[in-house]
Amino acid sequence: MPLLDIRNVKKEYRKGDKSVTALSGVNLAIEKGEFLSIVGPSGSGKSTLLNIVGCLDTPTSGSVLYNGRELGGLSEQQLSDYRRDNIAFIFQSYNLIPVLTVRENVELPLVIERKYSKAEMAQKALAVIESVGLGGMADRLPKELSGGQEQRVAIARALVKDPLVVLADEPTANLDSTTAEDVISIMQRMNTERATTFVFSTHDLRMERHAKRIITLRDGAIEKDERRQ
């Protein structure tokens, strides 16, 4: 059974009087531990697909199954719980909470999860901060970090709760090439070491190069599904 099973998902938006089709019947099965890249030109539906997989958005029709469980029809509260327990996000512009330190930002998903003690949260956060190469920066605020460091914090924040799936929307778009390579290698390492499933949208050829599977979207439909060894 695939970890994520996307069946004939369609998404339409209203734009004034017009109806815009963002996804037109996407079928996609994602297995546990995949390092999957979604590519395609702007407006091809990459972000919409990621949002639907991450339960940030709901499809107009079709279904999304997580470990065989249908996610359609879940209430707002249940979707929040689903995201909290299973999915982590990495955003293009990092989106760290500016008033929280690096450690507090990384602890945030654990705080929302409410499963750990304060000491356990601090221990887990510091370990993952160390693993992304930011040891010694735990007490800094986001404004004291470079863009690359901020994205590492975002990765640490995504990984701290050991999610089964990490969804990343253009995670290297705002980074210089050296920093982007660093970020990619961290994600790869986490994928290998923890068997975390990574699904990321990208325009970045370097990212594409490292992907084990590349889904190419065009006009809201899958044009190509390539697997690499």
Partner 1 sequence: MGMIIKIAFRNIGRHKRRTVLSALTIAAGLIVFICMDSMLTGVDRMSIDNLINLSSGALKIQTADYDKDKESFPLNLTLDSSLAPLAAALAQNKRVSHVTRRTQFLGQLSNYDETVPVVGTVVDPAADTLVFGLKPYLTGSYFGADNSREIIIGRQLAQDLGVGVGDNITLYALTKYDSRNADVFKIVGVLSTADPGINHSGVFMTFAAANDFLDLENSTTELDVAVARTGSLPAFSAETRDIQKHLQADFPSLRVNSFLDLGAGVMELTHAKRMSGFIIMGIILVIAVVGIFNTVFMSVYERIREIGVLRAHGMKPQEISAMFVLEGVITGLLGSVLGCVLGSLLNLLLVTKGIPMEKVAGSIATASYGIAGNVYGEWNVAATVVVFVLGIAVATVAGILPARRASKIPVTEALRFN
Residues that bind partner 1 (CB under 8 A): 51, 54, 56-57, 76-77, 80-85, 88-89, 91, 93, 95, 97-100, 104, 107-109, 111-113
3-state helix, strand, coil in the chain (%, to 5): 35, 30, 35
| Minimum distance, C-beta of residue 75 to partner 1, in the bound complex (Å) | 11
How many other CB atoms sit within 10 Å of the CB of residue 212?
A: 16
Instruction: Label residue 224 exposed, middle or buried (CB < 10 Å: 0-12, 13-18, 19+).
Output: exposed
* Cβ 186 vs Cβ 195: under 8 Å: no
Strand partners, 202: none
CA angle 22, 10, 16 (to 5 degrees): 45
| Minimum distance, C-beta of residue 116 to partner 1, in the bound complex (Å) | 13
Nearer to partner 1, 48 or 214 (CB): 48
Nearer to partner 1, 50 or 190 (CB): 50
Nearer to partner 1, 66 or 89 (CB): 89
| Minimum distance, C-beta of residue 178 to partner 1, in the bound complex (Å) | 26
| Minimum distance, C-beta of residue 136 to partner 1, in the bound complex (Å) | 22
| Minimum distance, C-beta of residue 147 to partner 1, in the bound complex (Å) | 16
Tell me the CA end-to-end span of the chain in Å, nearest whole number.
Answer: 21
Long-range CB contact pairs, 111-117, < 8 A, 24+: 112/84, 113/84, 113/85, 113/161
Nearer to partner 1, 109 or 148 (CB): 109
Q: Please tell me the total number of residues recorded for the chain in this structure.
A: 229
Long-range CB contact pairs, 115-120, < 8 A, 24+: none
| Minimum distance, C-beta of residue 141 to partner 1, in the bound complex (Å) | 10
SS3 173: coil
Nearer to partner 1, 7 or 91 (CB): 91
Instruction: Label residue 56 exposed, middle or buried (CB < 10 Å: 0-12, 13-18, 19+).
Output: middle
Nearer to partner 1, 58 or 188 (CB): 58
